[in-house]
């Protein structure tokens, strides 16, 4: 009898030892294969500059989630070899399967970010003509958030599918049924959230705004800095941030200065006396524009646009490649034109004419207009 017990314990210990060794070997082999693949990618990164360097850096997003996927897969393959009862084996397999599904969801989310980076790799927002880049970046941001949401939902469904216990599905169905009434109550509260989500999809498809668009919202000049699933961040020129709900850009009018192109026209007004020669100012205006790279050489016009009893209004119309350059160009035109008038026609600035006369020079009133007491 003691020999039999000893032989059983020895066999049991042997099975545990084999299981532990097999588990360690499986984890080491999976980690070795994982690290080997990414070391090869890292070596490509060191030897290949330029676009391949960026490609390899993007692929590194998958490194950490892929490691846990292979580790959990190796553990799940070895657990049936452990000398434990079927009940504990099933519990361990369920636990590892749930952790593997979580790691898989992490890998899918990282893959979504990797695809976004790959598609954005050839775009450059700093370029002058960046309309296509801004369109692609805006669409990908919205679609990325939607794709991540769908992946999370699918991952949760995959985890639930691991449990074949009818009680779980029964309780889940009862929970969903009881949540029906609550959903009616929450529908009103979630109306703004749902409308913002739909507005985000509509913005991604119809493109009323894009990342880095120049807009006028609530009287504020700024650029679209970020588009989330519920609001838009507008970076104002003085470094403030204006937070605007997504639905605003669907329901309210606003100005978009870069809807099709960033080219703009700008004006600078001069108010001078009637004695100033307009042709001389027109020639000076042309010289000012030709002396600066801010002008894109599309529009150059100086015209008399209005007359009043004291001054005439001159409109200096010019064009620039974008709103920032246009603002600087308008300021430059004002400074140079005022300096030109000050130097060559100092008497041409607006002024009020009056003259003083003595009492003797004044004409006497007719006697019919003189009132008598």
Domain residue ranges in the chain: 12-122, 143-149+165-260, 264-348
Closest residue by Cα to residue 244 from 262, 267, 220, 261: 220
User: CA angle, 255 as apex, 249 and 259 as ends, to 5°?
Assistant: 85
pLDDT the model gives residue 195: 67
Q: Is 222:242 a contact under the CB 8 Å cutoff?
A: yes
All residues at 6 or more sequence positions from 343 whose CB lies less than 8 Å from its CB, including other chains: none
The CA distance from 366 to 319, in Å, is 61
pLDDT the model gives residue 45: 54
Q: What is the mean pLDDT of each run of 10 residues along the chain (373 residues)?
A: 49 58 71 72 56 58 80 76 65 81 87 81 66 74 80 80 62 49 49 65 78 89 86 91 88 87 90 90 94 92 91 93 91 94 85 60 52 49
pLDDT the model gives residue 233: 92
Domains 143-149+165-260 and 264-348 share a fold: no
Assign domain 264-348 to its CATH architecture.
2-Layer Sandwich (3.30)
Q: Strand, coil or helix: what is 133?
A: helix
Assign domain 143-149+165-260 to its CATH architecture.
Roll (2.30)
* Half-sphere exposure of residue 88: CA atoms within 13 angstroms, side-chain side: 6
All residues at 6 or more sequence positions from 148 whose CB lies less than 8 Å from its CB, including other chains: 109, 112
User: CA angle, 187 as apex, 183 and 192 as ends, to 5°?
Assistant: 150
All residues at 6 or more sequence positions from 267 whose CB lies less than 8 Å from its CB, including other chains: 315, 316, 317, 318, 330
How many other C-beta atoms lie within 10 A of the C-beta of residue 186? 12
pLDDT the model gives residue 304: 94
pLDDT the model gives residue 153: 81
pLDDT the model gives residue 44: 60
DSSP secondary structure of 140-189: HHHHHHHHHHHHHHHHHHHHHHT---HHHHHHHHHHHHHHHHHHHHHHHH
pLDDT the model gives residue 32: 74
Altogether, the residues listed in the chain come to a count of: 373
Q: Is 225:235 a contact under the CB 8 Å cutoff?
A: yes
């Amino acid at each position: 009898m003691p020999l039999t017990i000893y032989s059983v314990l020895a066999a049991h210990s042997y099975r545990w030892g084999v299981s532990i060794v097999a588990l360690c070997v499986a984890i080491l082999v999976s980690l070795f294969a994982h690290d080997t693949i990414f070391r090869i990618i890292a070596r490509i990164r060191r030897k290949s500059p330029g676009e391949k360097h960026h490609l390899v850096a993007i692929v590194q997003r998958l490194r950490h989630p892929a490691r846990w996927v292979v580790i959990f897969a190796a553990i799940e393959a070895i657990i049936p070899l452990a000398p434990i009862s079927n009940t504990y084996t099933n519990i361990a397999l369920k636990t590892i399967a749930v952790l593997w599904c979580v790691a898989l969801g992490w890998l899918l989310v990282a893959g979504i970010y990797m695809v976004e980076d790959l598609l954005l790799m050839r775009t450059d927002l700093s370029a002058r003509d960046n309309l296509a880049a801004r369109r692609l970046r805006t669409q990908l941001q919205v679609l990325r958030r939607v794709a991540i949401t769908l992946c999370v939902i699918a991952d949760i469904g995959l985890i639930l599918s691991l449990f074949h216990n009818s009680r779980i599905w029964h309780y889940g169905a009862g929970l969903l049924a009881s949540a029906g009434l609550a959903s009616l109550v929450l529908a009103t509260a979630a109306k703004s959230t749902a409308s913002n989500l739909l507005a985000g999809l509509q913005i991604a498809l119809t493109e009323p705004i894009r990342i880095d668009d120049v807009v006028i919202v609530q009287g504020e000049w700024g650029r679209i800095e970020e588009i989330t699933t519920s609001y838009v961040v507008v970076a104002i020129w003085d470094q403030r941030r204006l937070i605007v709900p997504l639905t605003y850009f669907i329901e309210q009018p606003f100005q978009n200065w870069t809807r099709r192109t960033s080219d703009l026209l700008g004006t600078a007004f001069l108010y001078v006396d009637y004695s100033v020669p307009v042709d001389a100012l027109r020639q000076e205006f042309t010289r000012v524009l030709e002396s600066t790279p801010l002008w894109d050489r599309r529009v150059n016009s100086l015209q008399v646009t209005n007359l009043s009893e004291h001054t005439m209004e001159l409109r200096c119309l010019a064009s620039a490649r974008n709103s920032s350059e246009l603002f600087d160009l308008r300021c430059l035109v004002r400074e140079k034109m005022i300096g030109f008038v000050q130097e060559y026609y100092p008497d041409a600035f607006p002024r009020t004419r009056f003259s003083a006369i003595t009492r003797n020079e004044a004409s006497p009133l007719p006697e019919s207009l003189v009132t008598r007491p």
